[in-house]
């Protein structure tokens, strides 16, 4: 028994297990606290994100009208239904809008109140008046109304709580003048947080038990076979590679991780095998790699083409207008894009854009920008708002510092009034009635993705029956011939006026023909994208 106690194996196992247990306890406590804090922060941020989304549904300037109407108007019900759907889709317990008594904040009046359908809680009716829960809520309400903060969080996990443990995220609803009109609150239960915390404790305990068992078993084998197994593996691998000349997926250095001479020898054999195999395989993979790249580029071209509308006529049942567009990329894929779609029965959105750079990076950036623009346009924003919101979305994740120039217009089909905004793009060209094509020198804003916080201005163009609007990217006027002379705006206007009475398709074909004749086969350095809209 004494010899067993004095064995180096037993001593090593006892020391390692003791240190392991101490280390596990320390790491477990630190990890538990950090995990709980991080989880609560993420949980709270999700609630504030839901609150920000709900704030888009409520017009603070209309709160007085909601109160005066008793919440019976169609507008009020539409907002309530949207807020209810958001409450259920995000897993929130409550989403509600309240107006506190500003004298002492001791009472609150409910303007909107929604509850998750899967949770058994009562719904407060419109105009319901109740006492403020406690002093903490009063302080939070006052801070929001006084403008001290733009967001407040209440965590209720102690004492009597009528709806179980929960958090409440609160943000102010301000009118255009910056005055707080009400407070929007999102409440989420903490049962998910508790379950995750308990799961974490269970996993840590299980990992400690498993690790202790593995250490006890592994330490004995480690001490007895410290040299034999590594040397045997190296010898067997050297024989196998000499006979097969094929590397295995599992490297010697992955199984022999020691930093001594044996580990260095294992790494040297791995590198030798890799270099020999790589030398042989490189000779046979170069051609296959080129074919793969070509196939991927062809696929990228197909995907990009499918992103752009290419079916004509695009709206066969609409006779009020005609539209045609084309894009010829400088490479297999390009950064230019155009788009047009009906926002509703009486509004047509038209987009022309040019992404900085060329090739696949520009194509990826182009597809992301196009999706963002389209989404904001279909929400019902004005052109300036669409550009502003798109710019903010791009700038928030633009680590490559790319940008895109955009011209966007919304045509009111019944009147011919076109409202447009320009984010650093080329001037549009307009033909009114039987007159010639002329440049519209509109107001330029900054490019999208260049700087956050930018604002854009709108302007209007009145289109009459027979009017044509021609949009393009800089690939048209900057197309160059072998002498590096540019096509220019004068030749562009001349090409347009040469076929001023033609259809949109004929107009684009005429410009493309003149550009091709000018460049005379010189390499195309930029994407060539055009769009023509005829108002009938």
pLDDT digits (tens, 9 = 90+) for 342-394: 999 999 999 999 988 777 777 788 888 999 999 999 998 999 999 999 999 99
Residue 100, both tokens: 């506190």
What integer is the mean pLDDT of 103-107?
91
- Whether residue 304 has pLDDT greater than 70: no
User: Could you tell me where the DSSP H helices lie in 56-128?
Assistant: 63-69, 74-89
Instruction: Give me the half-sphere count of Cα atoms (radius 13 Å) on the Cβ side of residue 8.
Output: 4
How far the first Cα of the chain sits from its last, in Å, is 104
Distance CA 241, CA 262 (A): 18
Residue that is written with structure tokens 């047009």 in the block = 340
- Whether residue 297 has pLDDT greater than 70: no
Do 71 and 58 form a contact (C-beta atoms < 8 A)? no
Residue 446: pLDDT band with limits 50, 70, 90: very high
Calculated CA dihedral for residues 469, 470, 473, 479, nearest 10 degrees: -160
CATH 1.10.10.10: does it fit domain 34-194?
no
pTM: predicted TM-score of the whole model, two decimal places: 0.48
34-194 and 308-535: identical CATH topology? no
Distance CA 315, CA 338 (A): 16
Residue 308: pLDDT band with limits 50, 70, 90: confident
Distance CA 16, CA 471 (A): 74
Which run of H or E residues covers position 71? none
Distance CA 460, CA 443 (A): 11
Distance CA 114, CA 79 (A): 11
Residue 72: pLDDT band with limits 50, 70, 90: confident
Distance CA 406, CA 373 (A): 10
- Whether residue 253 has pLDDT greater than 60: yes
What integer is the mean pLDDT of 227-235?
69
Q: How many helices (H) and strands (E) does the chain have?
A: 13, 17
Q: Is 5 helix (H, G, I), strand (E, B) or coil?
A: helix
Distance CA 443, CA 427 (A): 9
Mean of all residue pLDDT scores within the chain: 83
What integer is the mean pLDDT of 285-305?
61
What integer is the mean pLDDT of 6-20?
62
Q: Which of 56-60, 219-223, 265-269, 327-331 has the lowest mean pLDDT?
A: 219-223
Q: Domain extents for the chain? A: 34-194, 226-307, 308-535
Which residues partner with 460 through β-bridges? 419
Distance CA 40, CA 156 (A): 12
What integer is the mean pLDDT of 173-188?
91
pLDDT recorded at residue 333: 60
Instruction: Give me the half-sphere count of Cα atoms (radius 13 Å) on the Cβ side of residue 90.
Output: 28
Calculated CA dihedral for residues 189, 194, 200, 204, nearest 10 degrees: 170
- Whether residue 219 has pLDDT greater than 70: no
Distance CA 246, CA 263 (A): 21
Residue 349: count of CB within 10 angstroms of its CB: 19
- Whether residue 202 has pLDDT greater than 90: no
pLDDT recorded at residue 8: 47
Percent of the chain surpassing pLDDT 70: 80
Question: Which of 3-12, 248-257, 317-326 shows the highest mean pLDDT?
Answer: 317-326
The matching CATH number, chosen from 3.20.20.140, 1.20.120.530, 3.60.40.10, 3.40.50.300, for 308-535 is 3.60.40.10
Q: Which of 15-29, 92-106, 305-319, 469-483 has the lowest mean pLDDT?
A: 15-29
Do 385 and 349 form a contact (C-beta atoms < 8 A)? no
- Whether residue 200 has pLDDT greater than 70: no
Percent of the chain surpassing pLDDT 90: 42
Residue 38: pLDDT band with limits 50, 70, 90: confident
- Whether residue 6 has pLDDT greater than 60: no
Q: Which of 63-72, 194-203, 396-405 has the lowest mean pLDDT?
A: 194-203
């Amino acid at each position: 028994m004494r010899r067993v106690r004095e064995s180096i194996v037993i001593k090593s196992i006892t020391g390692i297990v003791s240190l392991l247990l101490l280390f596990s306890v320390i790491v477990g406590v630190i990890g538990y606290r950090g995990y709980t804090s991080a989880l609560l922060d993420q949980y709270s941020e999700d609630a504030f994100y839901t609150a920000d989304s709900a704030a888009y549904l409520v017009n603070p300037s209309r709160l007085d009208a909601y109160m005066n109407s008793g919440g019976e108007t169609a507008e009020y019900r539409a907002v309530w239904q949207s807020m209810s759907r958001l409450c259920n889709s995000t897993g929130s317990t409550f989403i509600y809008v309240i107006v506190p008594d500003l004298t002492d904040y001791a009472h609150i009046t409910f303007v909107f109140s929604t509850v998750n359908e899967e949770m058994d809680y009562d719904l407060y009716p419109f105009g319901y008046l109740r006492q403020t829960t406690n002093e903490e809520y009063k302080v939070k309400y006052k801070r929001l109304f006084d403008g001290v903060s733009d967001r407040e969080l209440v965590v209720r996990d102690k004492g009597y709580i009528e709806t179980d443990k929960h958090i409440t995220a609160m943000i102010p609803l301000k009118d255009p003048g910056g005055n707080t009109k009400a407070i929007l609150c999102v409440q989420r239960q903490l049962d998910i947080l508790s379950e995750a915390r308990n799961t974490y404790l269970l996993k840590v305990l299980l990992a400690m038990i498993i690790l202790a068992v593995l250490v006890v078993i592994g330490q004995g084998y480690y001490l007895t076979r410290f040299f034999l197994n590594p040397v045997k593996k190296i010898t067997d691998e050297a024989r196998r590679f000499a006979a097969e000349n094929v590397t295995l997926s599992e490297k010697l250095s992955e199984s022999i991780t020691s930093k001594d001479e044996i580990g260095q020898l294992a790494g040297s054999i791995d590198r030798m095998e890799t270099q020999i195999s790589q030398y042989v395989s490189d000779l046979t993979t170069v051609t296959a790699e080129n074919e793969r790249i070509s196939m991927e580029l062809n696929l990228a071209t197909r995907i990009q083409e499918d992103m752009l509308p290419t079916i004509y006529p695009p709206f066969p049942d609409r006779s009020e207008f005609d539209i045609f567009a084309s894009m010829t990329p400088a490479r297999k894929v390009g950064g230019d894009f155009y788009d047009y779609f009906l926002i509703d029965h009486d509004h047509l959105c038209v987009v022309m854009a040019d992404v900085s750079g060329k090739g696949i990076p520009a194509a990826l950036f182009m597809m992301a920008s196009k999706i963002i623009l389209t989404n904001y346009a279909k929400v019902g924003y004005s052109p300036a708002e669409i550009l502003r919101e798109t710019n903010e979305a791009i700038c928030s994740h633009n680590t490559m510092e790319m940008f895109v120039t955009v011209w966007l217009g919304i045509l009111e089909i019944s009147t011919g009034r076109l409202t447009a905004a320009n984010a650093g793009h080329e001037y549009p060209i307009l033909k009114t009635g039987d007159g010639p094509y002329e440049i519209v020198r509109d107001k330029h804003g900054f490019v999208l993705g260049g700087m956050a916080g930018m604002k854009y201005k709108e302007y209007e163009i009145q289109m009459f029956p027979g009017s044509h609007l021609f949009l393009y990217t800089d690939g048209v006027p900057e197309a160059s011939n072998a002498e590096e002379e540019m096509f220019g705006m004068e030749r562009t206007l001349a090409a347009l006026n040469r076929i001023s009475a033609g259809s949109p398709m004929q107009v684009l074909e005429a410009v493309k023909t003149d550009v091709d004749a000018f460049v005379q086969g010189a390499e195309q350095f930029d994407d060539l994208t055009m769009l023509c809209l005829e108002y009938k």
